[in-house]
């Protein structure tokens, strides 16, 4: 309850919507429905409560609209009295009813009452249980299930997988971040919702037919990423080309090549096209398309975020977490990594942050006005990808075994680097994948195409694994590189990781820089900081000032030691 309230309070503070004049309700589901030739509306024999989400959470009667149902309708009848509107009549079967307005029918009807509804802008059903959708490391999942007259979602469902929920220690904040993430899926960030986006004046971005349904929807069938047929009449799924309305587009980047999927006029896809998103955990799979959200505000904020004035959109994940999806419902993990709407939480990565790019998607939906001050304040070189330029956002992470971003990507398994937040030391993680996709064509990072990193990050090798006994802020569980403390390291809550070769005279042969922990003390204006090293070889907690860092790349040294510390 506390977790969902905190998550809901965040979005209530971050978003404004056009409020409804009526309470939130949804329609009942009718069964055995039909109409005569002179009628305009269908009449159903009975009704049931609809359900919300893939787990089928039933709507209470209090949240439902009224509905008239007729258990029997017949054209042959006898009247107990004069056949006038509302008079009693008897159907040929013997059922008792009343004469309807047309005077041609005898109906035995009832009207289910209207519920009180909900005085909210959005309502979410929350469950906590293990289900068929809780495989692997899935912590939670979300579905939107009812839209209003402007297509904005008004009901949704979030389920937390019981076996993955951990309320111990400091895990609450992580669960709140998960709840905020899932609510974003409910509210806007779902490829199933993109087709319903509106212009700022409220008109639909995609054209509608006479029934107000999106035009040019294509029916198709799918059971998995390798078992589908497109198009397929009556297949139970619909897809519409979002590129036609300037919502998404595909680009030829990172040696991936042209996209064979149903966008920009492509009308068919076979099972060898690889267009259906594959959930993570399936081994090596080469992404077929670079798909990006190109709506105006998202484009503007993505260019600001990456400091790239020519950026063509915010990339969507191509190794997403749901089956049978042609367009992903998350930002691309490779460049957004631990942004709130990246697909998965990767072990060893810093806490999630929310960027203005995500808030921009809310604005471009036409349903919300976001408060951009509710996004996290980001710092270059501290937050993943922020202000890293065009090449970071559009070029391969590693080319021919080398990278332009050696503090993020790595090329040798086991190499170490300071974490981006400088709290500790991380290790390069490179995996050899068992399953190699035959589609690979000039896309691999190393000589062997089956070598790479995490799937959702396009297999880019990164400094991922946090070395648990080399966390600079952890005095209890971390250790200095040597004992005695020849590198003059300091462990503590104010310590941070530095690239350093500073060492005692006794280590004259060791010249290479490594990752070491020293205490820092920031100035009042946060424009510079002092670096402090251990006062002796016998301590890692007592410190003395080494010097002051005023710019990145500056070096500090001391006369009684060898080497230097790089700011």
Domain of residue 530, CATH code? 2.30.34
Low-confidence winner among 92-101, 450-459, 544-553 (lowest mean pLDDT): 92-101
State residue 81's pLDDT score: 66
State residue 567's pLDDT score: 96
Rounded mean pLDDT, 317-332:
87
Q: Are residues 450 and 551 in the same domain?
A: no
Is residue 57 scored above 60 in pLDDT? Answer: yes
Q: Would you say 20 is a known binding-site residue?
A: no
Low-confidence winner among 190-199, 237-246, 342-351 (lowest mean pLDDT): 342-351
What is the percent of the chain with per-residue pLDDT over 90, rounded to a whole number? 66
Rounded mean pLDDT, 438-459:
75
Q: Are residues 360 and 333 in the same domain?
A: yes
Query: Where a domain ends, among 336, 371, 406?
Result: 371
Q: Are residues 231 and 332 in the same domain?
A: yes
Phi/psi region, residue 488 (left: phi>0; alpha: psi -120 to 50; beta: rest), is left
State residue 272's pLDDT score: 76
Rounded mean pLDDT, 545-549:
97
In a domain, 254, yes or no: yes
Q: Are residues 352 and 408 in the same domain?
A: no
Residue 540 and residue 350: Cα distance in Å, rounded? 25
Which CATH number goes with the domain that contains 456?
2.10.55.10
Query: Where a domain ends, among 470, 496, 531?
Result: 470
Is residue 358 scored above 80 in pLDDT? Answer: yes
State residue 349's pLDDT score: 84
Cα 402–chain centre separation: 29
In a domain, 385, yes or no: no
In a domain, 310, yes or no: yes
Q: What is the band of 451 on the pLDDT scale with cuts at 50, 70, 90?
A: confident
Per-residue pLDDT tens digits for 469-487: 999 999 999 999 999 999 9
**Residue 351 token pair:** 């806490």
State residue 284's pLDDT score: 62
Q: Are residues 247 and 321 in the same domain?
A: yes
In a domain, 315, yes or no: yes
Q: Would you say 305 is a known binding-site residue?
A: no
Rounded mean pLDDT, 111-116:
96
Q: Which segment, 261-265, 269-273, 524-528, is predicted with the most confidence on average? A: 524-528
Mind giving me the DSSP string for 130-143? Answer: --TT--TT--EEEE
In a domain, 263, yes or no: yes
In a domain, 540, yes or no: yes
Phi, psi of 346 (to 5 degrees): -90, 130
Number of separate domains in the chain: 4
Mind giving me the DSSP string for 372-394? Answer: GGGSPP--TTTSTTTT--HHHHH
Q: Are residues 511 and 414 in the same domain?
A: no
In terms of DSSP H, where are the helices of 201-327? 296-306
**Residue keyed to tokens 């604005």:** 363
pTM reported for the whole predicted model: 0.91
Of 110, 105, 109, residue with least CA distance to 92: 105
Query: Where a domain ends, among 371, 388, 418?
Result: 371
**Strand partners of residue 495:** 519
Q: Which segment, 67-81, 183-197, 312-326, is predicted with the most confidence on average? A: 183-197
Q: Are residues 465 and 476 in the same domain?
A: no
Residue 462 and residue 456: Cα distance in Å, rounded? 12
**Mean pLDDT in the chain?**
90
> Based on C-alpha coordinates, what's the Rg of the chain?
30
Q: Are residues 437 and 457 in the same domain?
A: yes
Low-confidence winner among 2-16, 363-377, 509-523 (lowest mean pLDDT): 509-523
Indicate if 519 belongs to the active site.
no
Q: Are residues 121 and 75 in the same domain?
A: yes
Residue among 107, 182, 332, 489 flagged as catalytic: 182
8 A C-beta contact, residue 237 and residue 324 = yes
Is residue 262 scored above 60 in pLDDT? Answer: yes
What are the start-end ranges of the E strands in 230-302?
A: 237-239, 248-251, 290-293
Per-residue pLDDT tens digits for 209-233: 998 999 999 999 998 878 899 999 9
Rounded mean pLDDT, 107-125:
95
State residue 68's pLDDT score: 92
Is residue 103 scored above 70 in pLDDT? Answer: no
Rounded mean pLDDT, 3-17:
97
Q: Are residues 111 and 224 in the same domain?
A: no
State residue 286's pLDDT score: 65
Of 475, 474, 470, residue with least CA distance to 498: 470
Which CATH number goes with the domain that contains 234?
3.90.132.10
Q: What is the band of 142 on the pLDDT scale with cuts at 50, 70, 90?
A: very high
Q: What is the band of 112 on the pLDDT scale with cuts at 50, 70, 90?
A: very high
The boundaries of the domain holding residue 530 are: 472-566
Q: Are residues 514 and 527 in the same domain?
A: yes
Per-residue pLDDT tens digits for 391-443: 999 999 998 889 999 999 999 999 999 999 999 999 998 988 776 666 555 56
Is residue 102 scored above 90 in pLDDT? Answer: no
Of 352, 343, 337, 466, residue with least CA distance to 405: 337
Q: Are residues 179 and 250 in the same domain?
A: no
In a domain, 480, yes or no: yes
8 A C-beta contact, residue 335 and residue 306 = yes
Residue 70 and residue 110: Cα distance in Å, rounded? 6
What is the percent of the chain with per-residue pLDDT over 70, rounded to a whole number? 96
Q: Residue 52: exposed, middle, or buried by beta-carbon count in 10 A (0-12, 13-18, 19+)?
A: buried
262 vs 8, 267, 294, CA distance in Å? 36, 5, 17
Q: Would you say 383 is a known binding-site residue?
A: no
In a domain, 197, yes or no: no
């Amino acid at each position: 309850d506390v977790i969902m309230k905190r998550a809901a309070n965040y979005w209530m503070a971050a978003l404004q919507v056009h409020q409804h004049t009526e309470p939130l309700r949804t329609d009942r589901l009718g069964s055995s429905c039909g109409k005569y030739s002179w009628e305009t509306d269908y009449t159903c024999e009975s009704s049931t409560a609809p359900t919300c989400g893939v787990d089928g959470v039933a709507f209470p009667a209090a949240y439902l609209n009224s509905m008239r149902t007729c258990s029997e309708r017949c054209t042959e009848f006898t009247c107990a009295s004069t056949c006038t509107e509302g008079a009693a009549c008897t159907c040929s079967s013997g059922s008792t009813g009343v004469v309807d307005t047309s005077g041609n029918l005898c109906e035995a009807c009832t009207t289910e009452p209207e519920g009180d509804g909900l005085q909210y802008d959005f309502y979410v059903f929350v469950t906590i249980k293990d289900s068929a959708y809780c495989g692997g490391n899935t912590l939670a999942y979300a579905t939107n299930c009812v839209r209003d007259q402007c297509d904005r979602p008004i009901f949704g469902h979030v389920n937390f997988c019981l076996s993955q929920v951990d309320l111990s220690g400091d895990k609450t904040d992580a669960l709140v971040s998960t709840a905020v993430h899932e609510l974003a899926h409910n509210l806007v960030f779902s490829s199933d919702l993109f087709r319903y986006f509106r212009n700022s004046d409220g008109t639909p971005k995609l054209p509608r037919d006479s029934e107000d349904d999106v035009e040019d929807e294509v029916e198709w069938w799918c059971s998995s990423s390798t078992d589908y047929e497109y198009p397929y009449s009556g297949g139970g799924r619909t897809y519409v080309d979002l590129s036609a309305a300037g919502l998404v587009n595909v680009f030829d980047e990172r040696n991936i090549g042209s996209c064979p999927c149903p966008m920009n006029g492509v009308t068919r896809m076979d099972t060898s096209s690889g267009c259906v998103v594959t959930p993570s955990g399936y081994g090596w799979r080469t992404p077929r398309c670079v798909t990006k959200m190109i709506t105006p505000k998202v484009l503007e904020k993505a260019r600001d975020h990456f400091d790239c004035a020519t950026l063509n959109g915010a990339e969507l994940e191509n190794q997403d977490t749901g089956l049978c999806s042609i367009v992903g419902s998350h930002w691309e993990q490779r460049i957004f990594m631990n942004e709130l709407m990246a697909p998965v939480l990767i072990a060893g990565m810093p806490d999630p942050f929310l960027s203005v790019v995500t808030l921009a998607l809310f604005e471009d939906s036409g349903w919300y006005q976001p408060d951009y001050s509710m996004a996290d304040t980001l710092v270059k070189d501290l937050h993943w990808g922020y202000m890293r330029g065009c090449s970071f956002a559009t070029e391969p992470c590693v080319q021919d075994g080398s990278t332009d971003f050696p503090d993020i990507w790595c090329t040798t398994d086991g190499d170490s680097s300071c974490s981006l937040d400088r709290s500790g030391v991380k290790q390069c993680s490179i995996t050899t994948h068992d399953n190699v996709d035959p589609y690979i064509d000039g896309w691999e990072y190393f000589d062997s195409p089956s070598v790479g990193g995490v799937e959702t990050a396009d297999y880019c090798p990164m400094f991922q694994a946090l070395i648990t006994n080399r966390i600079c802020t952890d005095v209890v569980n971390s250790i200095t590189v040597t004992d005695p403390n020849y590198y003059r390291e300091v462990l503590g809550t104010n310590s941070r990781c530095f690239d350093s070769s500073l060492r005692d005279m006794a280590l004259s042969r060791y010249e290479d820089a490594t990752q070491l922990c020293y205490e820092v003390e920031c100035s009042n204006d946060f424009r510079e900081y002092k670096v402090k090293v251990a006062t002796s070889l016998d301590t890692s907690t007592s410190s003395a000032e080494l010097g002051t860092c005023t710019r990145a790349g500056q070096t500090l040294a001391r006369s009684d030691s060898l080497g230097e510390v790089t700011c």
